[in-house]
Structure 1
Amino acid sequence: MDAINVFPVADGDTGTNLCLTFEAAVAALPANGAEPTAAEALRAMARAALLGARGNSGTILAEYLRGMAHGLADEVDEVDGADGADEGEHGDAAGGPSGALPRALRSGASAAYAAVAHPVEGTMLTVAAAAADAAEAGGDPAVAAYEALAATPGRLAALARAGVVDAGGLGLTALLTALWAALGERVPQEPPAGTAAGASPVPCPAPRPAGAVPPGHGSPQAPFHPEFEVMYLLETGDPKAVDALRDRLDPLGDSLVIGGGEGLWSVHVHVADAGAAVEAGLAAGHPYRIRITHLPSAQEGTESAAPCEAAEPVREPAAGGRAVVAVVPGEGLAALCRQAGAGVLPAAEAVQQDALLAAVRATGAAEVALLPNGTELHPVAARAAEAARAAGIRCAVIPTRAAVQGLAALAVHQPERRFDEDVVTMTSAAGATRYGEVTVAERQSWTTAGVCQAGDVLGLVEGDVALIGSETAQVATDVLGRMLAAGGELVTLVVGAEAPAGLAAALEQYVRTSHLAVDTVVYEGRQREAQLLIGVE
């Protein structure tokens, strides 16, 4: 399945993700000899699959199992209410094909379709629907799944170009075949091969202009480059918040799948801005188990390129090696980053794409990780990285939204790793770092915490004003307390040029006495824009 994985992204992990997700589901079954009913087993498996879902296919599979569990529970309730009058041909409505199975398969297929923001035919969704149709008609769902799988190249251009069936569909077909066999039914003996012979060819679509946005995703003016797969679990008791999250994530990227219920949801999306996807989750509830994975670009996934598309010209790479370029707001931070081996660019200069591109070129490296260290710099950093790639430099933007996130990313940078692995590790470290800031208001202004006056001390958490006060030490302590309320292992304090004397020592003492298991590191950043930068990992 990994070998034929070409849609939605040719990242070669569909089989692995399905296997790991289903293994998590199976691990939830009792191992002490207890025999749960079919409904109880499916409920336990569905919950565990939701918690352990991996990738796009795993998230869909988890929701498919959850739908099956609901369908089976509904069928059992109906049978109990009718005193067993609707028992299946095997004498057990909870297990017989003529009883619960059609209901469970239909409910599973419906749940999977509903979880995907933009369902695409020729995928595991199509296989799920075909199996449900066959079961409801009294036919063989396993055979129907195989037939639907063999036809997937005729329904999806990416599969036809690569000459393979859908990897997720193949996984679901294997699962349905096992289920059918477990019910004592005959299963197909010769599944279709990876290449579907006789599949109807699908004409290649007209080439999309460089940077164009797929239909229904993002604004027509903004280029769309899904660089990251973002997944997290979301706790929220408000279903409307989940609907709002879906609306917020949809224009940010593609492959959006949100499944779950009863207060817990699994979120999956491919985006260009991983930070924005996580921020959307924070607005909807409590996201945790956040996983950010770098996706292969078109240049990295040349093995899946369509034969009918013109190949990109091969460009000479840069001199060699790998480098990191960090945007920094102060000389102290610049010295710290240089000491760690990174090239630096002052924040005031980074607003110019040419300046960022020049800094990338100046490294002389063939591979460069770019740390913008500010949300407002992400668009210009993305354009600079695009220009660098056009010049033959492999460049990736780590979605750091603050300097402390850049420090966290730089701390785990290892040039001896594969570039993709290094980018993923740095991105994960940045995403696991909450950031705060203490600064002084320059003028009267409306904020999320109320109206501030010139000279007021402002405490910001994740970019939003959370506190307005008069003393830096008190505001800083309150901000740090709020940030540590969600837990943490390491506090990073970056002291600005205008910070009052003794501020860092007072905050270190606060952490030591109030949060015993948390370590603190202090850097002299000498930045003038903020008295203090705070990071909590």
Structure 2
Amino acid sequence: MPQTLDAAAVRSWCSLALEALGREREEIDAINVYPVADGDTGTNLYLTVESAAQAVEAVFAAHETGASVPAPGDAVRAMAHGALIGARGNSGTILAQLLRGMAEVLADAAPADSEGNGGAGDGGDRLAPALRRAAALAREAVAHPVEGTILSVASAAAEAAERSAAERSGTERNGAVDAGATVRAAYAGARAALAATPDQLPVLGRAGVVDAGGRGLLAVLGALVRSLTGETPAAFPMRHRRYEDPAAVASAIESCAPAGGPAFEVIYLLEADDRAVARLRTRLDGLGDSLVVVGGDGLWNVHIHVDDAGAAVEAGVEAGRPYRIRITHFGAAAEEPPERVQRAVVAVVPGEGLAGLCAEAGATTVLARPGEPPASGELVEAIRRAHAREVVLLPNDAALRHTAAAAAEQARTEGVRVALIPTRAAVQGIAALAVHQPDRRFDEDVVAMTTAAGATRYAELAVAERQSWTMAGICQAGDVLGLIDGDVAVIGADLAATAEAVLSRMLAAGGELVTLVLGDEVPDALADRLETYVRDGHLAVDTVVYRGGRQSVPLLIGVE
């Protein structure tokens, strides 16, 4: 029977790829010499796949309450979208485009028939075309493709898969192509191409290593083999055959470091149409090198190495709306690092307005945009950016508890003392930050912040997307839902009236301070009305109002 590439196989693929890259990340980082010897290719690929895996898990979580399982198309689309929004570095951005190319073909698959035959539902017929589309799309995304890189490895995988599928198509039952056989061939082709990269790209030959991005892609393809067949492909050596001694490799890599080159790596997500992106490519190509622009359907990930980081961002502003902007100075690692501060706070925030508020209070922030929760790697980066011996981590979302715990554990292995306060909403994080005192003992500060967060009840006003059962009864699409401490407590037709009902319930148990966080589209008049409502009914209760910016719900409420 042909192995099936269903939603479960996609989920397994992401999990196994993350496991493989986690295991090999440091070694891949160590052989990274092209296009810049900055030693982060393995880490960037890991973070990209982590984001893809989280997106697939979210699709499965949405089906947990029902009897159905995700459709294969939903799973592969989620994988590609997750990789796009989480893509890091040159190789991570290209990997995101490779996954997008595969998804374009695989997402159109029809379910296999009752006999389990053929169709794109089993993925056998579609894997070779998917790999071919992936390789082509990745090359289109790179301004100046270079052989001996991840692009060469991807092309070789596609060619080998096509040859295997063509050879077997006439012999398999009812013409169905064995997906396992196809992906085995793709892995073998990629492995051979990777071994040849030092002979294609002189800098790799001088350093005595294979291409780091291609090595990471081989790990991802090896995970696909395991997912479809249960077999673990033979390991591939990180070093090239002419350099067996790790010390010699390290010395050779150091000698390959370029004397010049752009000073900054700039990456951002961009909301823009196709025509604006075409103009953006042209402009950015004149500003720097290693330009990769991936994505489509209005959402893009832009990566470039430049000397003028501001100009690269300004070009994005002219094209559309850039966000999640990350600028890395290539020379930063060589500079003397500044002295660590004693203590810092890292907070996840749901909108730009709260990000500004928390930053003013001294916190390092991680922005969580609607539908785009941060990965653990982003939290680890924020902890590193805080550059402190002690860090208090505020996830501000119950769904991020596992992600935050993983980030805290990683940071601890790097010598940072991390306290994770399990804040479940942004208003709890604001309450914790308000009592933060960096000059008192760490444990005392954490206890005070935890107490303040725990004493803050939280609520949010959301709009129902479909009819469903709730703790407060049946809601219809378009109803306003008032959720208190995570459960639907009020169903209404009007945002203001529903908010008043929520406040009434919350203040019935007492309170001293009401915090209102308004989304972009909520008028100031609503805040005025709610302030009046609180003042008229509860004279001793104060109200503070913040603008949260673009956030997933129109209104957040906290009662301390």
Q: Give the alignment's TM-score, normalised by structure 1.
A: 0.49
The structure carrying a bigger helix percent of its residues is: 2
Q: Give the alignment's TM-score, normalised by structure 2.
A: 0.47
